Amino acid sequence: MSAELEDIHEECGIFGVWGHPDAARLTYFGLHALQHRGQEGAGIVSNDHGHLIGHRGLGLLTQVFSDEKDIQRLQGDRAIGHVRYATAGSGGIDNIQPFVFRFHDGDMALCHNGNLTNGFSLRRALEDEGAIFHSNSDTEVLMHLIRRSMRTTLTDKLQEALNTVHGGFAYLIMSENEMIGALDPNGFRPLSLGQMTNGAYVLASETCALDVVGAERICDIRRAR
């Protein structure tokens, strides 16, 4: 079996909310419903008027956010979060998501469930071109591809990057003005869209997380476009 296929796992949970005044706390509750999908670590990134604020750590969600102040400082009405499934050789805080990237034209955050079957070869090619990686997770590969795209909008850049990576995956990406959920072309990884009574939108790996925060399921995201 190819080394790029050996570590494929079903787990990791992602959750995002857009348009709720207590977005980080809502994300915490959503991740709590997804805790069975990953126990190695957890993290949340909030969006406060375009400034991304993150907190992440090793362990269960309740351990990572044992201090109420860690939630309180995640201001903003938008947030994404992640619970990580342990895989061999991938322990350590550097691999805990969501990842936050600071660029001259705005901050971006990214979290991911799944594996890229061509992640290793893409990473080597990117490193040969001068890319610097801060983790051994293939999640970073997508962001490097996005930033190298010559297309104009984030959506177009993301589409080009998604057409380059292969495997089974679900991504949540948050910029100053957008939250985007995307799946592999075959929809191997689950991702559901819901809406709350105040109009806030929610994306989650499982519908149980929608239920916990009181969001009504709209649809399952079928595939990347």
> Is 6 part of a structural domain of the chain?
no
225 in any annotated domain:
no
The strand pairing partners of 49, in sequence order, are: none
Determine contact, residues 61/70, Cβ cutoff 8 Å: no
3-class DSSP assignment, residue 115: strand
Q: Is residue 5 part of a domain?
A: no
Q: Assess whether pLDDT exceeds 70 at residue 9.
A: no
At 157 the pLDDT is 95
Residue 8 forms part of a structural domain: no
* H or E element at residue 193: strand 192-195
Residue 122 counted as domain residue: yes
Has residue 202 been placed in a domain?
Answer: yes
Give the pTM.
Answer: 0.91
What's residue 89's pLDDT?
43
Give dist(CA 87, CA 8) in Å, integer.
9
In the chain, which ranges are continuous DSSP H helix? 23-33, 61-64, 68-72, 119-128, 139-148, 154-162, 207-212
Tell me if residue 73 falls in helix, strand or coil.
coil
Q: Which residues belong to the active site? A: 12
Which residue range forms the structural domain that includes residue 181?
13-220
Tens of pLDDT, residues 11-51:
799 999 999 999 999 999 999 999 999 999 999 999 999 99
Reported as a single tens digit per residue, the pLDDT across 207-217 is 999 999 999 99
- The four Cα atoms 44, 48, 49, 52 give a dihedral, to 10 degrees, of -50
SS3 123: helix
- What total of structural domains would you count in the chain? 1
Nearest Cα to 94, choosing from 130, 129, 56? 56
Q: Per-residue pLDDT for 1 more than 50?
A: no
In this prediction, residue 44 carries a pLDDT of 98
The pLDDT score that the predictor gives to residue 199 is: 97
Pairing of strands 216-220, 192-195: antiparallel
- pLDDT for residue 8: 43
In this prediction, residue 142 carries a pLDDT of 94
For residue 66, being part of any structural domain is answered with yes
Query: What's 104's domain CATH number?
Result: 3.60.20.10
Does the residue 3 lie in any domain?
no
Taking only the tens place, the pLDDT of each residue in 132-155 is 998 888 889 999 999 999 999 999
State the chain's mean pLDDT as an integer. 90
Residue type (1 letter), 142: L
82: left (phi over 0), alpha (psi -120 to 50) or beta: beta
